[in-house]
Amino acid sequence: MALSLLLVVCNSYLENSRIHRVYHRRKQIIPTIYVDQSGHGNYSTIQSAIDSVSPYNQDWICIYIKAGTYREQVKIPIEKPYIYLKGEGKRKTNVTWDGHESINTDATFISEADYTLVKSITFINSYNIPPKGSNVVIQAVAAMISGDKSTFYRCGFIGVQDTLWDEQGRHYFKLCTIVGAIDFIFGNGQSIYERCALVVNAGRLNGPGFITAQGRTSQHDQSGFVFKNCEVFGTGFTYLGRPWRDYARVLFYDCSMSNVVVSPGWYAWNSSGRENQLTFSEENCNGIGSNTTQRVPWATKLSQQELQQLTSLSFIDNEGWIMKQPLKVL
């Protein structure tokens, strides 16, 4: 973006722009586009703001989204890295869509680009909310994340089945709220979820739900879901996870679990007979649901070295890309 245009944008919205003061303290100013449904921003929809960003951009650009409910499908395509979506709070700025025909194309939010940063926004797939007909639930994705080196801070993801498709790439989720009942965090991502709330809404199901369905495909695959200092609570009952692929890897570390977690903890699903290939583990957890005395016998006990490797930020970031983002989120 030309310097003159940057100055116009900064000066026009400086009076309500806390974000510029944050960047000033870090001696970093980035161009900012404003989305406001009332017509007082540069655009009235989030997608039109994303569409305005030049392809193959190599510098961070902020899209600041004013409070409100945005009823649209939002996509950051693969050729648009370094986009920072900034809402005014996960209870104030939300994006709602009801796509449900195909998990590949109908998520409320699709992020294909590397270096995506999102803060203080909630993404909702409303198709199964409220229930349709006689308790029928189908796949309806709130967010699909396939770009590498992406961070979500103080975001919300709300759905019932397949809420968050952590498809592939290295991702960091911190202080996020993720709501669902069936496989509501799934995919082959290599991700750390830190201090997140995993809210189970399985009360409408005829049986227990599943928090995770991880898709690691081989023992050499680096992917896995690590939940660190998270809380698990809600309604109904749930397993901690089942494998989407035969080498699924999930760790709950220092997490608090309410009585929504069923005693076996884990379910082998289509990997029955190959449980030795799965890495489903819990360590240092607390709460009624963390009692492991009746867990499945094939649950994994990791070594201290393995725990250190998986719970360290270097599991997803041995290059320092998180600290190079325009707003410190650690």
Per residue in 54-88, pLDDT (tens digit) is 999 999 999 999 999 999 999 999 999 999 999 99
Catalytic residue numbers?
162, 183
Q: Does position 12 have pLDDT exceeding 90, yes or no?
A: no
Q: In this structure, are residues 277 and 245 in contact, taking their beta carbons and an 8 Å threshold? A: no
The pLDDT, as a whole number, for residue 326 is 85
Half-sphere exposure of 167 (CA within 13 A, CB side): 18
Tokens found for residue 49: 């703001």
Gap between the Cα atoms of 128 and 105, Å rounded: 17
- Domain ranges in the chain? 67-315
pTM over 0.85: yes
Gap between the Cα atoms of 120 and 125, Å rounded: 17
The pLDDT, as a whole number, for residue 131 is 79
Q: In this structure, are residues 300 and 266 in contact, taking their beta carbons and an 8 Å threshold? A: no
Name the pLDDT band for 136 (thresholds 50, 70, 90).
confident
The pLDDT, as a whole number, for residue 8 is 35
CATH classification of 67-315 is 1.10.3720.10, yes or no?
A: no
Q: Average pLDDT, stretch 161-166?
A: 98
Provide the percentage of residues in the chain whose pLDDT is more than 90.
85
Based on the number of CB atoms within 10 Å of its own CB, is 36 exposed (0-12), middle (13-18) or buried (19 or more)?
middle
Q: Does position 100 have pLDDT exceeding 60, yes or no?
A: yes
> How does pLDDT run across 81-98, given as a tens digit for each residue?
999 999 999 999 999 999
